[in-house]
Structure 1
């Protein structure tokens, strides 16, 4: 985990994103225990309440679950939920704009697909 303390994005949101990214990238497997609030706060010198606030975001999305007396664990299906959410964000953030710009430049669908294929080949 890496945190940008000079970023405009609040640390608690960075905590949530770091946990989600670790789940999506296989750093934390389904059913696996994640580091505790205390462990994260000590290792990265972050207020425990801030870490907990970030973890609660991930809990609210049903990506991790609290097991009383045991800690936090990655929920079943968490990786798939995150990947699907990121794909939707990718579509909205990049694909829609790409297609709009292609239309503005009179690039046909076939030409655009060829350009994308060329990008994959690089």
Structure 2
């Protein structure tokens, strides 16, 4: 993954998102060791403090836990926490945008539901 320095999303948030994506893809699993801030800094050519800030977000969200002297590891239930968070935050935000645009275009609730079902069927 490449980080997007031009994005409005801060680099440390992109790091946290990347680690979450690794957990969702089962490349990082429960009790598995996570990259250190120095490894992340080298991988993405960023400041170690920035990488550390991304790790701290996940630590504070109970996605990761710390073992003194050993590093950070994936918390049990992390994948479920990430899925729930993304459903609550991202899907709700996207749904609001879709509903607002549908209202602007005078699309009925039934038409919108049918459109969503159509898109879902098409994959």
TM-score range, shorter chain: 0.7 to 0.9
In the alignment, which residue of structure 2 is the partner of 1:118? 118
How many residues get paired?
Answer: 122
**CA offset at residue 45 of structure 1?**
1.9
Residue in 2 that maps onto 1:15: 15
TM-score for both structures, normalised by structure 1: 0.84
Pairs within 5 Å for 1:56-95: 56-95=56-95
Q: CA, structure 1 residues 44+91, in 2 after alignment: closer, same or farther (shift >3 Å)? A: closer
1:47 and 2:58 matched: no
Secondary structure in 1 aligned to 2:39?
Answer: helix
2:28 equivalent to 1:35: no
Normalising by structure 2, we get a TM-score of 0.83
Q: From the superposition, tell whether residues 95 and 10 of structure 1 become closer, same or farther in structure 2 (CA, over 3 Å).
A: closer
What is the alpha-carbon distance in structure 2 between the residues aligned to residue 108 and residue 41 of structure 1?
Answer: 49
Alpha carbon RMSD of aligned pairs, Å?
A: 1.9
